[in-house]
Chains A and B, each alone.
Chain A
C-alpha cells in the first residue's frame, strides 16, 4: 500500500453529539490535501483524531501501514506526524533560533526520561537543523528576535517550521492562514508549500479561503455535518453542487455568525 495515511469508517461522538462519522480517506505520499467545510463540520475533530488528541469512537487510522488508532499524541508525533495550530503555538520568551533549536533537539532525542537529560539542546546537529529550517521558511532575519516581538506572519511560519524541523512525513496544518491579511496569505502559503515540497512532506491543511485551496491543494476534501461530502481535485470538489450549496452558503452565514459570537 503506497498510501501514507488511511482512515477507515472513522466516527467520533461526544455523548449524543456526532462530531464525525463514516470518514474513509486514503492519502498517497507527498499529496497536498485541502480540507474545507464550515465551522463545526468536523475538520478539526478529524485532525485531532489523526494526531491522537482525540480517540475515535469507531474506525481505524493507519499511518505508513501501521495502525495508530488511539495512540497517545506524543507517540504519534514520534512516529512522524506533526501539526501546527490555528493560533501559532510558540515560546514567546525565546528567540526564533532558540524556539527552533529546542524543537530540533526534542525531535532528535530518544523518548525516555534519560533521553531528555542526556540530549544537549545545542548539539551541532540540532543547530544545523534549526538554521536550515529557519532558512527554508525564509525567516532568517528574525533569527535572534524574541518570538513575542514577531509579526503575525512570521509567528505562523515559525510555528509551522517547529513542526517541520523534526522531518515528519505527514503534517497537519490547522488553518495556516488564519489571522493573516489577504495580501499576505498567498506569500505565506507559497513559502510553506515550497518548504514542504522540498522535504517531501505530505500535508493536510484546513482552509476557509477557496482561492488558497484552489491554488495550493492537489486534492480537496469537503466536510459537512461530520462527514466527507466531496473528495476530488480542487476543481471537482469546488464545482460540486452540494459543496457550493452547503459550504459556500454556510460559509457566508458563519462569517456573519462568528462576528455575532465575538
Chain B
C-alpha cells in the first residue's frame, strides 16, 4: 500500500499530496489508539502526544536552527514517548471512562498552558522552519513531495514494527486484559506494566504523527492539543476499527477525504456529513472499515 502510494505521488495534484500527507501522519496517531483500543482502553486525550510531537519539532527548529526532517521527527516521537512514560505511571492504573477522562484532562492542561504562553504565540501558535533532508533543501512542490515520502517511510516502519508488537506477548495481551485481568496477573504478568507499555507505544506514535503534521502544515498551535483534535482521532479509530494495522491508515485517509469533500460541497454542513458517515459505519460495519478487508481476505482464502 505504502509503496503504491509512494510511486503514485508525482502523478497526483498538489492538494492530494498534502491531503494524503496529513492523513497518513494522523494515521500514526490512530494506530496508537488502536493499540489501546484492543485492550479495551479509549484515550480521549491522544492530542496531547500529537501536540507535544509537533511543538518539539517546532521548538527544536526555532531554538537551535536545526532543521533536518529525519532527526526532527525522531525528536518529536521521543519527546512524546518520554512524556508518555511519566504519564503512564498514573494512567496505567485506570480503566474505562476514568482512563478516557484522565487522558482528556491531561491534554487540556497542555492546551491551557500553551494558550497562556505568549512567548509561544499563545492561541496563534507559530510557524515551523522549512525542513531540510540531509542538507537537501527543497521548496514548494518538491518540499511537499519530500514530506509525503518521509511520512510514508515513517508510516511503513511504524506499521511493520507495530505488526511485530501485536504478535508479541506484550501486544497480544490486549483482548486477554479486556477479558480477564485476574487471569493475566496469575499467569505471572503485571497488567499495569503491559498497559503502561501500551500508553508509551501509543504516545510515541502520537508524537511521530504530530511531528510529521507540524512539518507538513508548517505551523503549530494549541488547537493540536484541544479535545476536538483528540475526538477526531477517536472518530477515525471507530471508523477504521481495531482489526488491522493498515485499517488505521485507510481510515485516516477516508476521514480526511470525506472531510475535504464535504467541506468543498457543503461548507455549512460538513460536520453533518462526517457524522452521517460515522453513523453508517457503526450501523453497518461495527468492526470498522478494516473488517471489509478481513472479510474479503477470508472470502479469498475460502475460494483458494
Contacts and interface: CB of A to CB of B under 8 A. Distances in A.
Given A92-B180, A94-B175, A74 B185 contact: yes
B187 A116 contact: no
B188 A106 contact: yes
B169 A109 contact: yes
Contacts of A103: 187
Interface in B161-188: 165, 167-173, 175-176, 178-180, 182-183, 185-188
Contact of B172 (A74, A107, A113, A121): A121
Given A116-B197, A162-B183, A107 B188 contact: yes
B168 A91 contact: no
A93 interface: yes
A115 B188 CA distance: 13
A121 B183 contact: no
Interface string A59-96: 00000000000000110011000010100011111100
Interface in A147-201: 162-163, 166
A257 interface: no
Contact of B168 (A74, A78, A93, A119): A119
Nearest to B176: A91
B187 A106 contact: yes
A102 interface: yes
Interface residues of A, number: 32
Nearest to A79: B188
Contacts of B167: 120-122
Interface residues of B, number: 25
Contacts of B176: 91, 94, 102
A117 interface: yes
B117 interface: no
Interface in B144-162: none
A33 to B, nearest CB: 20
A120 B168 contact: yes
A74 B189 contact: yes
A118 interface: yes
B190 interface: yes
B179 A93 contact: yes
A28 interface: no
B271 interface: no
Nearest to A78: B188
Interface in B254-302: none
A102 B194 CA distance: 14
B178 A106 contact: no
Given A91-B175, A91-B180, A116 B188 contact: no
Interface string B102-131: 000000000000000000000000000000
B168 A118 contact: yes
Contacts of A241: none
A90 B188 contact: no
Contact of A102 (B173, B186, B196, B197): B173
Interface of A: 51, 73-74, 77-78, 83, 85, 89-94, 102-103, 105-107, 109, 111, 113, 115-122, 162-163, 166
21 contacts: A51-B186, A73-B186, A74-B185, A77-B186, A77-B187, A89-B182, A89-B183, A91-B175, A91-B179, A91-B183, A102-B173, A105-B169, A106-B187, A106-B188, A116-B168, A116-B189, A117-B171, A119-B169, A120-B169, A162-B183, A166-B187
Given A74-B190, A92-B180, A166-B187, 14 more contacts: A73-B185, A91-B180, A93-B179, A102-B176, A106-B189, A107-B188, A116-B173, A116-B194, A119-B168, A119-B169, A120-B167, A120-B168, A120-B169, A162-B187
